[in-house]
Structure formats: structure tokens, C-alpha cells
Chain A
Amino acid sequence: MSELADINVLLVDDEVSFVETLTKRLSKRNLSIGQAFSGNEGLDYLSNNSNVEVIILDVKMPGMDGIETLKHIKKKYPLLEVIMLTGHATVESAIEGMRLGAFDYLMKPCDIDQLISKVKDAASKKRQHEEKIVQARIKEITNRQA
């Protein structure tokens, strides 16, 4: 559990009750959760909080939808991992999201344990990614010094 404490998650969904309940449940499992109720809000949140590692993104939202939001996120923060959350009607778009670089997709209503494990996987992938980048930088720096 302790390792999860560090994971910063952003929930983006237009269903306020869903976001709030899921926040409570995930917080209880020691995740630190940020909330956003639209694509735009999510992007704003990201620009203010650089510590977010994993985003749980609903596909179908009024205004800017999940796919559009995903494109923006991947453009600005390529290292962030995104888990698409979908109703069944939008499975195709969720898969389309994965083609655009999302980590995975989940169907509503989702099992909490499944969600947690996906989040964990995503976070560890991101951290590995970052580590590789750091090491590459170190290598570069040491090479330069040498």
C-alpha cells in the first residue's frame, strides 16, 4: 500500500457523483486524487499540478470529449499515462484512444480492484519511463564530462 501513496491520479468525468464517490474510494486506498469535470478543466488542472502521474479519462463527455482531451494531454505531457473509461457504446473510441497512446481502457461500471491494479501498472510504467530518461540524461552528462 505504501508504494501507492505516492501515485497522483486525476479523475476526469462529467458525472459529478461518480467522480466524488470514486475519489472517496480511491483516497481510502491511499491514492491522491485530483478531480475535473470536463476536458478543459482537466487540462487546467494539469497545468497547475505537475505531480499528476495517471489520468482516468472518461471517453464520452459534453464539450471536449475524451479522445480530444487525450490528444491534447499527449501533446503537452507525453509521459503521462491515461486510462480510458468508457460505456460500452464507446468501446471503439476507447480502442482508438489506445492507438493514440492511452495506457488501457476500462468499462463502466468498473471493478475497483481492477481499476487499482491498472492504475498501479500505469504508474509503474510511467516511473520506469522517467527513470530511463533520467539515466539517459545522467549518461549524457557523464559522457559529456568524459
Chain B
Amino acid sequence: MSNKYYNKLVRSITSTVILVSIAPLIFTALVSGYFFHTAYKSRTIAYLKELVKEHKRTIDSFLWEKVADINVVSKSYTFETLNNEESLQELLKILQEEHKGVFVDLGFVNDKGIQSAYAGPFKLKQASYADAEWFTEAMKSKFYISDVFLGLRGLPHFIVAVKKEWEGKQWILRSTIDFVYFNKLVENIQIGKTGLAFIVNKKGAFQTKPRTGVKINNSNYLDLINNDTSKSLEAPPNNSDFYFLQKADEDNVIVVISEDQDNNRFINVITTLKYGDWILIYRQDIADAFENLYRARNFAVSIFIIGSLSIIFMAFIISRRVVGRIERIDQEKNMMNQQVIETGKLASIGELAAGIAHEINNPVAIMVEEAGWIEDLLTEEEFKDGANLEEFKRALKQINTQGKRCKEITYKLLSFARKTDSRIQEIQINDLIKEIVELSGQRAKYSNINVIMDLADNMPFVRLSPSEMQQVLLNIINNAFDAMEKTGGKFEIKTYTDDNYVAIDLSDNGPGIPEANLSRIFDPFFTTKPVGKGTGLGLSICYGIINKIGGKLDVKSIIGKGTTFTIKIPVEKEINKTQI
């Protein structure tokens, strides 16, 4: 079978193994990854929301507390007391003591916007707030908290104001809240490296100073704010850079994802403050907010990649190994098939040969007898003076000779086909070889062939028929001698043990056997000898004999260098034991 077939097998096994092992891995990774991701994300977001809500409450309560404080002051004291600078100083002192310097100053402003009384670090008595935005706003409602502004003093601050009526006129008691103190409230909201909070008003102006410089694409946030934020925050329009994550809940908190100019993605938790006047934004880099999640994800991904790679690697190795084994088994199977075919061929030919030999023997016997009869008749008187008498005798002798040759051939054919007539004995192969070499010694001498024996000591006994083994050895030796007859040469017999076999190497340095003939030398009737010299049965008989006792007969030949026949005979274990 071709390499293509095995490569295809490797591919199909590899892909099956990879598919079967990685598919569930991917599925598990995706499912658990998805659940873990969503669970962790929603937990993180819930935590951030909780944090923001808490701060919203803190800030709101801070602001309304301050309003309440001023309200208490305005209700507790008479118009005269409040409009008196000295008593106002006294009140401010009390407030500052109670609230650790949150209140910076205290002022009393009439309905024309003129501050008639002032207590605080700045000289703002008689200052006019008539045009100030906070003043107009404050005049509209009972309580007012302004946005942060620079005001007359040129420092960021905001004002808490309470409206009071006195003798038909409206007065405002106002106090400035320390911006630094307020800022700290918001600044304290910090998680991770990038988490920060800030407050903007409806116009997008910062009400607190963010810890780091935050560039806000104001319009995006304003999109959120410009809706009626006192009721609820709405989803931003589709064209904004925001990606809406969670809608406003009962506390009016929304979560959006934003992206700045540098493509950094942020998670924003946004809620309203001060009845929708201000917006508290908590912003954190997504990578930072979900750092643990991403770390876990990266870890899982790397495990997945390493696992997949090792699976692929193993699948490849395993399939290579499996296919390699299959290839070997196939080869063995092919070889075995070859042997079975060889054996079967020999067996059927043997049967055929036996039949033919027997059928031929009878007519040949008759022919020889008839020739003999003619010979007998020729001795009679009437033929004695025949001119061709000698010629007749010669012809009859020839018939007789050729009849005998036929007999010889059929004899060989039959011994090739013979089942078994030889008794099996335990023999020492070395002794047998010595005998045979002695037997062919004469011929070797005439053909100028040097026979070398290299026999291993302690060869185990083997069970076989000595006469059959003799036949095999003689056949191979004779073939070798025939090959070297003209040139002379070297013939070497070597014995050794090989696993559970006794092996005999018979090597000559004759002309060798051509490749084309090598595959046919065990075929019955195949011979390279001239007609009448060889039957072509010798090696096939040898093959049959060796095969019958479970041995192997191999041949290797190199043109010009020589030929080596290797006989391997199995050693039975019990015989080995008796030898020990």
C-alpha cells in the first residue's frame, strides 16, 4: 500500500483525536467562561453601584444637613441678631466648632441682593449679589444650594442659602461651604488605580476637582443629564460614545461604558445628586475594574492554549505511532500472505506432480519393456545378420537410458511431493554439516573450491529428519559448486543461534543470482541449467522441507560477489532444557 494511504490515516486519526478532545474543552471553556464572566461582571458592577449609592446618600445628606443647619440658625434667631455683624460672628463660630470648619462664612442678604451683615474671612459687607445667579435662584425657593463658582472672592465655593421673611420683606441667610472639605467627600471614592469620582452640574461644569485630570467629552455626559434628570437618567442617544450597560434602577443609578479619545474604555456609574441638579460620576478604567476577571481569563486562556497544543502534539504523535504499527502489521501480513501463497503453490504443484509422475511411470515402464522385448527379439537367429543390427541395439539402449532418466525425474518429482516418510530425530546440526562437507569434499577438490566451516559451539539440538536435512544441504551445496565449477572459489558454512532458531549460512563467492531470477528460484521447475542437467525441483523441495519443520529459507545474492542461503530451524524449548 502506498504512503498516501498511511498519511491519510495519520491525518484522519489526528483530526478525530483533536476534534474529540478539543471540542468539549472549547465548549466547557466557553460556557464556564461566559457564566464566570457575567457573574463576576455583575458582581463588580453591583459593588460599584452600591459604593456610588452610598456616596450619593452621604453627599446628599451632607448638603441637606448644611441647609438644615442654616435653616435652624435662621429660625432660631431674630432678624436683629442675624443682621448684626457681631452676633453673626458668634453664630459662625458656633457652627464652625460644631462642623469642623465646613462653614466658611455667614452672610445676611436683603431682597435687593445687598449683604447687610457678614461674618467670615473676607470683607464682603455691603457686597451686592443682585446679579449673582445663586441670588436669583435662591429668591425663587425656600432653600437653595448653588453650583460651585468662583464668585467675588475668586475661589471655588458654593453657597447654601435659606430664605426668611421679615416684615413683608424677604431676606436670605447664606453660608459658604468649604470647597476643600466637600471635595474630599467625593475624592475619597477610590477603588483600584484608576477609579475616581467627580460631580458635574447640568452645564457640565465640574463641581469637584477630580484627582487626576479627567477629560470629559462633556456632550456625552450632558446627553445623559439634559433629560429630565430629576426623575430618572435615560439612555444616551445611539450616536453617543456610550454603551449602555444597565438602566436606571430605583435609586436612579445607571452604568455605561464610555471610550475616550485614546481608546481607553471606562465603566461609568452615574447617579443624580441634589434632586437632579448635580450628577455624581464614578469612572474607572475597565481593565482596572475587571482586573481580577481579566487576569483569571488570561490564565484560563493560556491554560487552554497550552492544553490544546499538547493535545494536538499528542494526537499527532499517537496517530503516527498507531499508523506505524498498522504499517508494520500490514507488511507482516503481506509477507505472511506471500508465504501462504508460496506454500499453497508448492502444495498444489506437489499434488499435481505426484499425479503426473505416477501416470507417466506406467507408460514409460511399458515403453522400456517394449524396447527390452525388441532387444530380446534381436538376439534371435533371423536378425543376426541384419545390416542395421548395431544401430537397432544402440537405439534401444538409448530408449532404455532415456526411460531411466524419466524415472529419475519422476523420482525427484515424487520426493518433492511426498508427504513424510522420514522419521524426525533430535540431531546436532554441526555433526550433520561435517558429514555433508566430507561427502562433497571430493567434488570440491576437483572444482578447486575451498570449503570453510565456521561452526558455533554449544549449538542446541533440533528436531528434524536427518535425511531430509541432508537433501537440503546437499542441494544448496551442489548448486553453489555448480556455480563455482569453472572458476573455483570459496564456500563458507557458518552456524549460529538466532533467537529461537538455529541458523546456517551457506555462502559462496560465485557469480551470484540475477535479480530477476532471485524471486523465482524457489518455484518448481525453475532452472537455469541446460536441458537435461537440472529438473528445477531442488530448491523448491528444500523450501518445502524447511517450511514443513517451521523454519525459514532465505537467499541473498549480489552479482559478482556471491550468494548466501540462510536456513533457520526453530529450536524447541524443551530440547534446550534437556541440553542444560
Contact = CB atoms under 8 A, between A and B. Distances in A.
A64 interface: no
B358 interface: yes
Interface stretch (A75-83, A104-112, A131-139): A104-112
Nearest to A17: B366
Interface string B228-264: 0000000000000000000000000000000000000
B435 interface: no
A91 B404 CA distance: 17
Given A92-B421, A109-B368, A109-B407, A87 B362 contact: yes
15 contacts: A17-B370, A18-B365, A24-B373, A87-B358, A87-B410, A88-B411, A91-B421, A107-B407, A108-B362, A109-B364, A109-B365, A109-B369, A109-B403, A110-B365, A112-B372
Contacts of B506: none
Nearest to A87: B361
A1 interface: no
Contact of A89 (B358, B403, B407): B358
B374 to A, nearest CB: 10
A89 B414 contact: yes
Interface string A59-98: 0100000000000000000000000000111111000000
Interface residues of A, number: 20
B369 A25 contact: yes
B376 A89 contact: no
A89 B372 contact: no
Given A88-B414, A108-B362, A109-B365, A21 B357 contact: no
Contacts of A88: 357-358, 361, 410-411, 414-415
Contacts of A22: 369
Contacts of B104: none
A44 interface: no
Contacts of B173: none
Given A87-B357, A92-B421, A109-B367, 5 more contacts: A18-B362, A25-B369, A88-B361, A88-B414, A107-B407
B354 A25 contact: no
A111 B537 CA distance: 26
B373 A25 contact: yes
A21 B411 contact: no
Given A88-B411, A89-B354, A92-B421, A28 B376 contact: yes
A15 interface: yes
A47 B415 CA distance: 39
Q: Which 8 A-B pairs have the closest CB atoms?
A: A109-B365, A109-B368, A108-B365, A87-B361, A88-B414, A21-B369, A89-B358, A87-B358
Interface in B366-407: 366-370, 372-373, 376, 403-404, 407
A18 B372 CA distance: 12
B149 to A, nearest CB: 133
Contacts of B407: 107, 109
A124 B421 CA distance: 32
A110 B364 CA distance: 10
A99 to B, nearest CB: 14
Interface string A10-22: 0000010110011
A46 B407 CA distance: 32
Contacts of A87: 357-358, 361-362, 410
A18 B366 contact: yes
Interface string B341-373: 000000000000010011001101111111011
A107 B414 CA distance: 13
Given A18-B369, A28-B376, A109 B421 contact: no
B376 A25 contact: yes
Given A18-B369, A21-B366, A22-B369, A108 B421 contact: no
A84 to B, nearest CB: 14
Given A88-B411, A88-B414, A89-B354, A108 B361 contact: yes
Interface string B538-578: 00000000000000000000000000000000000000000
Interface in A1-40: 15, 17-18, 21-22, 24-25, 28
A15 B362 contact: yes
Nearest to A92: B421
A60 to B, nearest CB: 7
Nearest to B377: A28
A92 B376 CA distance: 33
Interface string B319-358: 0000000000000000000000000000000000010011
Contacts of A108: 361-362, 364-365
Contact of B372 (A17, A25, A60): A25
Contacts of A17: 366, 370
A28 B373 CA distance: 9
A25 B411 CA distance: 25
A109 B361 contact: yes
Interface string B20-36: 00000000000000000
Contacts of B362: 15, 18, 87, 108
Contacts of B414: 88-89
Nearest to B411: A88
Contacts of B367: 109
Given A25-B372, A89-B414, A92-B421, A60 B358 contact: yes
